[in-house]
Amino acid sequence: MATNTLNLPEQEYMLPGNRACAGCSVGIVFRHMSKALDGKAIFVVPASCFTVLCGMYPTASVQVPVMNSVFPGTAACASGIAASLKKQGRDDLTVVAMAGDGGTADIGMQGLSGAAERNANVFFVCYDNEAYMNTGTQRSSLTPLGAKTTTTPAKGKMQFAKDLPAIVEAHDIPYIATASPGYPGDLYDKVCTARGISGTRFMHINAPCPPGWQFPTAETVAMAQLAVETGAFILFEIMDGKFQLTGKSLALADKDNRQPVRKFIELQSRFGVLDEETLARLQERVDERWRKAVARHRAEE
Amino acid sequence: MNATATTAEKRTGTPTLMQGNIALAEGAVQAGLRCYFGYPITPQNQIPEYLSARLPETGGVFVQAESELASINMVLGAAATGARVMTSSSGPGISLMQEGISFLAGDQLPCVIANIMRSGPGLGGIKPTQGDYYQATRGGGHGDYHTLVLAPANAQEMFDLTYKAFDLADTYRNPVLILADAILGQMKEPVIPEPPYPRLELDKDWALTGANNRPARNIRSMYLEGDDQEQHNYVLQEKYDRVRQEVPMWEQMDTDDADFVVVAFGTSARIASSAVRLARAEGLRVGLFRPITLFPLPEEALREMAAKVNGLLVVEMNLGQMVHDVRAILGPDKPVSFHGRPGGGVPTVREILEKIKENMV
């Protein structure tokens, strides 16, 4: 049975009070991840929003061990921990490398690729808030086309976000999934699955950011759900090469009732400069990725 | 060369309220900056953010790289074409750039690198520090080299010294580092953002511009034949000796009749100048010596000044780096005491005044 908010474990690994911004989705992400891991994990975190959220011992807001890595070295540092734990015979712990979109897809890409190619026993999680939010919203390679950031001030970003799961999949690792704080039960179940697999596992999590995306702090979950309902973010998992849509995305594919991307982005002021042509290009890209995902799901069902 | 201190009050023109980081960026634009390559890190983000809008207005190029490793190597490439180029970063980002900086020095390529220092080691914090003095003045990366290092102490100097840095970089074909900190980067002060003098225009007969009807040029730092690498290092050393002769800049305050002198740079010097004023008000004959260039340190001026005083106090926002250079320059007979605050701590005026009194007797 799929997990929902009623049958989640009671145990909390996130303490009340942390340094995240109001409405931050990363708290929702970590809370459900840590429950799924039963707290039996070591987190490796580079410079990012999450390292600020965690705080520092002895005033940390999380009840799992956390270690800071250098910005480009998250996957490598996690690989080192995993190698040492193996030598110590500790197979009860999951080594989680948890980085933002910059720490994964920009400066962290080389380290992630190295770890994935070696199939290091690491669970790499990218929480993607689509820009360098911790340093004040500078563009990243996962910032969507047309989004205004502090380093794309004139017309918004000129390029599409790169397809991160596709890059990681090229490494032929045992498990890849996407997840959303809008659907925490789906997220929880995928982390449980990842925990039961050894080798490199990768999860790409959509992480709406009120100050960076510029929407009201109470709308975080609604925003995460709209990303999925419009197909701008697709929920799936790839187990040993087999691709399957999951949760809400699977339901959308069955009913064929996706919402237009406009509904998702018109609530975010970062797209305030978007013209109709750019919006059409965004919609076209979303449609194309959605068609491919549905076709692949049906072919591999 | 003795520097004339460059606060806005001492310049002619219309002052405007500017943040230090913006003054630095605008100084680069006025110096003819063509290409900026950078990557986000606090407390210097206003530099790339400002330039992302400002540089395209001047026909320049702004690129946000995927890492500091990429930034510095984009600088390496663009510098090889003879353009005026720069990057900026802080702490961990500057550390990540060191291999590229070593290449720039070995290749003798001009560029400007701004380090808006944050506390370390490691990920550290985002508070101000002067903990990167050693890294900046020793070269920082591998091999036997130096970067020129300029240490501004106010927003006007963030503008002026950055403007000057491009001339120095071109003159000596060498990377020039601006060493400031989170306070200097973040605070706002009146700035006259106008060039103090026309910029230097040199014929760059070494640049890679496409070998059209002339022999192709090479830019390299690898020499495997015979003693070529040794000879190359002698060439670099000769250049650094010229730099030591020609470039030193400093400021002296109340040193003429002083019995005791505080030596400090950047933010520490600003705070120390207040302590010196308070000491003077109490009738103590105290002065301030502020190196503006950290490589080269103004050795001769320091020696000359120190010959007339009984003792010195070096103040730094670290646990003792420049103080060892000052002691080496002045020798064992001159009493040199130290006061420092590490890891984002900032010395207070009272603290420095107490240390002055403690060490004057």
Consecutive sets of 10 residues in chain B, 361 residues long: mean pLDDT of each? 57 92 98 98 98 97 98 98 98 98 98 97 95 97 97 97 98 98 98 95 95 92 92 97 97 97 98 98 98 98 97 98 98 97 97 97 74
Q: Please answer yes or no on whether A70 and B67 come within 8 Å at the CB atom.
A: no
In a domain, A8, yes or no: no
pLDDT of residue A56: 76
The answer to whether residue B17 neighbours chain A at the CB level (below 8 Å) is: no
How much is the mean pLDDT over chain B? Answer: 96
The torsion defined by the Cα of B65, B70, B74 and B76, in degrees rounded to 10, comes to: 150
The answer to whether residue A54 neighbours chain B at the CB level (below 8 Å) is: no
In a domain, B3, yes or no: no
Facing residue for A70 by CB, picked from B40, B41, B92: B92
In a domain, A2, yes or no: no
**Nearest CA to CA, how far is A80 from chain B (Å)?**
18
Q: Please answer yes or no on whether B48 and A70 come within 8 Å at the CB atom.
A: no
Q: Please answer yes or no on whether A68 and B122 come within 8 Å at the CB atom.
A: yes
In a domain, A11, yes or no: no
Instruction: Residue A211: give the domain boundaries.
Output: 25-300
Q: Which of A151, A152, A157, A167 to mutate to test the interface with B (most CBs of B within 10 A)?
A: A151
Tokens for B53, please give them.
């809008």
B72 and B202 share one domain: yes
Residue in chain A closest to B37 (alpha carbons) equals: A151
Q: Which residues from A are below 8 Å from B39, CB to CB?
A: 107
In a domain, B2, yes or no: no
The answer to whether residue A193 neighbours chain B at the CB level (below 8 Å) is: no
In a domain, A5, yes or no: no
**Nearest CA to CA, how far is B38 from chain A (Å)?**
10
Instruction: Look at B151 and A256; give whichever has higher pLDDT.
Output: B151
In a domain, B166, yes or no: yes
Identify which of B33, B28, B95, B26 has the alpha carbon closest to the alpha carbon of residue B67.
B95
Tokens for A251, please give them.
């339901």
Identify which of A138, A56, A126, A30 has the alpha carbon closest to the alpha carbon of residue B123.
A56
B167 and B273 share one domain: no
In a domain, B306, yes or no: yes
Element (H, E) at B87: strand B85-89
In a domain, B218, yes or no: no
Q: Please answer yes or no on whether B123 and A68 come within 8 Å at the CB atom.
A: yes
B145 and B109 share one domain: yes
* β pairing state of B111-117 and B148-150: unpaired
B50 and B133 share one domain: yes
Q: How many residues does chain B have?
A: 361
Facing residue for B40 by CB, picked from A51, A135, A141: A135
Q: Please answer yes or no on whether B40 and A72 come within 8 Å at the CB atom.
A: no
Q: Which residue has the tokens 């596992």?
A: A201
The answer to whether residue B123 neighbours chain A at the CB level (below 8 Å) is: yes
B238 and B286 share one domain: no
Residue in chain B closest to A131 (alpha carbons) equals: B40
pLDDT of residue B361: 74
Phi-psi region of A156 (alpha: psi -120 to 50; beta: other; left: phi over 0): left
B254 and B176 share one domain: no
Q: Which residues from B are below 8 Å from A153, CB to CB?
A: 49, 52-53
Q: Which residues from B are below 8 Å from A132, CB to CB?
A: 40
Are the CB atoms for B356 and B286 separated by under 8 Å? yes
In a domain, A13, yes or no: no
Q: Please answer yes or no on whether B62 and A151 come within 8 Å at the CB atom.
A: yes
User: How far is Cα B156 from Cα B8, in angstroms, rounded to an integer?
Assistant: 6
Q: Which residues from A are below 8 Å from B344, CB to CB?
A: none
B160 and B264 share one domain: no
The beta-strand segments (E) located in B160-317 are 175-181, 188-191, 250-253, 260-263, 286-291, 293-295, 311-316
Q: What is the CATH number of the domain that holds A115?
A: 3.40.50.970
Element (H, E) at A164: helix A164-169
Q: Please answer yes or no on whether B49 and A151 come within 8 Å at the CB atom.
A: yes
What's the structural domain count of chain A? 1
User: How far is Cα A9 from Cα A13, in angstroms, rounded to an integer?
Assistant: 11
Identify which of B42, B43, B77, B78 has the alpha carbon closest to the alpha carbon of residue B60.
B78
Name the domain boundary from B246, B277, B306: B246
Residue in chain A closest to B63 (alpha carbons) equals: A151
Q: Which of B22, B36, B45 to mutate to test the interface with A (most CBs of A within 10 A)?
A: B45
Q: Please answer yes or no on whether B62 and A71 come within 8 Å at the CB atom.
A: no
Are the CB atoms for A41 and A94 separated by under 8 Å? yes
DSSP letters spanning B26-62: HHHHHTT--EEEE---TT-THHHHHHHHHHHHTT-EE
B148 and B239 share one domain: yes
DSSP letters spanning B215-261: PPP-------STTHHHHHHHHHHHHHHHHHHH---EEEES-TT-SEE
In a domain, B86, yes or no: yes
Q: What's the distance, CA A216 to chain centroid?
A: 21
B200 and B267 share one domain: no
| Residue-wise pLDDT tens digits, A107-160 | 999 999 999 999 999 999 999 999 999 999 999 999 999 999 999 998 899 999
| Residue-wise pLDDT tens digits, A77-118 | 999 999 999 999 999 999 999 999 999 999 999 999 999 999
Q: Please answer yes or no on whether A107 and B49 come within 8 Å at the CB atom.
A: no
Q: Which residues from A are below 8 Å from B52, CB to CB?
A: 150-153
Residue in chain B closest to A139 (alpha carbons) equals: B64
B197 and B254 share one domain: no
In a domain, B222, yes or no: no
Q: Please answer yes or no on whether A154 and B56 come within 8 Å at the CB atom.
A: yes
Tokens for A194, please give them.
């990842």
Instruction: Residue B182: give the domain boundaries.
Output: 16-206+232-246
The number of CA neighbours under 13 Å toward the Cβ of A189 is: 14
Element (H, E) at B113: strand B111-117
pLDDT of residue B7: 66
Are the CB atoms for B219 and B80 separated by under 8 Å? yes
**Nearest CA to CA, how far is B337 from chain A (Å)?**
35
Q: Tell me the pTM.
A: 0.95
ipTM: 0.92
* β pairing state of B260-263 and B286-291: parallel
Name the domain boundary from B217, B246, B275: B246
Q: How far is CA A295 from CA A163, A259, A289, A291, A292, in A?
A: 17, 19, 10, 6, 5
Which distant-in-sequence residues (6+ apart) come within 8 Å of A13 by Cβ?
A: A31, A34, A35, A39, A62, A63, A64
B331 and B350 share one domain: yes
Q: Please answer yes or no on whether A72 and B123 come within 8 Å at the CB atom.
A: no
In a domain, A85, yes or no: yes
Q: Which residues of A113-137 are buried (b: 16+ CB within 10 A; e: fewer)?
A: eebbeeebbbbbbbbbbbbbbbbbb
In a domain, A115, yes or no: yes
At residue A63, what is the residue type? Q
In a domain, A67, yes or no: yes
H helix runs in B97-150, sequence order: 98-106, 133-137
Q: How far is CA A67 from CA A46, A57, A74, A96, A205, in A?
A: 8, 10, 10, 10, 21
What's the structural domain count of chain B? 2
Q: Which residues from B are below 8 Å from A143, CB to CB?
A: none
Strand order in the sheet with A66-68: A66-68, A41-45, A94-99, A123-128, A201-206, A175-179, A236-239, A242-245
Q: Please answer yes or no on whether B64 and A47 come within 8 Å at the CB atom.
A: no
The beta-strand segments (E) located in chain A are 41-45, 66-68, 94-99, 123-128, 175-179, 201-206, 236-239, 242-245
Q: What is the CATH number of the domain that holds B306?
A: 3.40.50.920
User: How far is Cα B301 from Cα B304, in angstroms, rounded to an integer?
Assistant: 5
B168 and B64 share one domain: yes
* Window A:148-177, CB contacts with B under 8 Å: 150-154
The answer to whether residue B13 neighbours chain A at the CB level (below 8 Å) is: no
Instruction: Fill in the DSSP letter of residue A23.
Output: T
Q: What is the CATH number of the domain that holds B165?
A: 3.40.50.970
Tell me if residue B4 falls in helix, strand or coil: coil
User: How far is Cα B33 from Cα B111, in angstroms, rounded to an integer?
Assistant: 10
Q: Please answer yes or no on whether A71 and B96 come within 8 Å at the CB atom.
A: yes
Facing residue for B66 by CB, picked from A47, A70, A106: A106
